[in-house]
Amino acid sequence: MNRAYFYPKRLDEDFLNRAAHMFVGTHDFAAVRSVGTPTRTTVRTIYSLDVIREGDMIRIRVTGNGFLYNMVRILAGTLINVGFGVTDPAEIPGMIEARDRQAAGPTAPAKGLTLIKMEYPEHPEFPGQKS
């Protein structure tokens, strides 16, 4: 079953949420993308990054204006490190500022990664139509 990533240790969701909310906003997310992937800019906006516990399951929900290659998986891996106590939530702003992939956590497996919805703004040449 690939609908969830099984992590064998209990994670502290309070730490997860404290760290998750530090990623919210417009930042240069170079630290949380796969190295060597071409892109014009690594600046993105995360509108929300929420961690929700449902019994033994932890759900990480991210909303943004775009994502870099492996960005969500690296965010998840970084949050796992925080929840397990490897990384302190206070380190997140410095991690973002450093723009160094080595500063962030590992890339979590794609198991459970699900794209829920994509929205596009209206195209100015075609009112009423999405791009």
In this predicted model, what pLDDT tens digit does every residue of 26-73 receive, in sequence order?
999 999 999 877 889 999 999 999 999 988 889 999 999 999 999 999
The bridge status of strand 43-54 relative to strand 57-64 is antiparallel
Q: Give pLDDT, residue 130.
A: 57
Q: Environment class of residue 42 by beta-carbon count within 10 Å: exposed (0-12), middle (13-18) or buried (19+)?
A: middle
The share of the chain scoring above pLDDT 70, in percent, equals: 92
The strand pairing partners of 27, in sequence order, are 44
Mean of per-residue pLDDT scores for the chain: 88
Strand order in the sheet with 43-54: 25-28, 43-54, 57-64
Does pTM top 0.85 for this prediction? Answer: yes
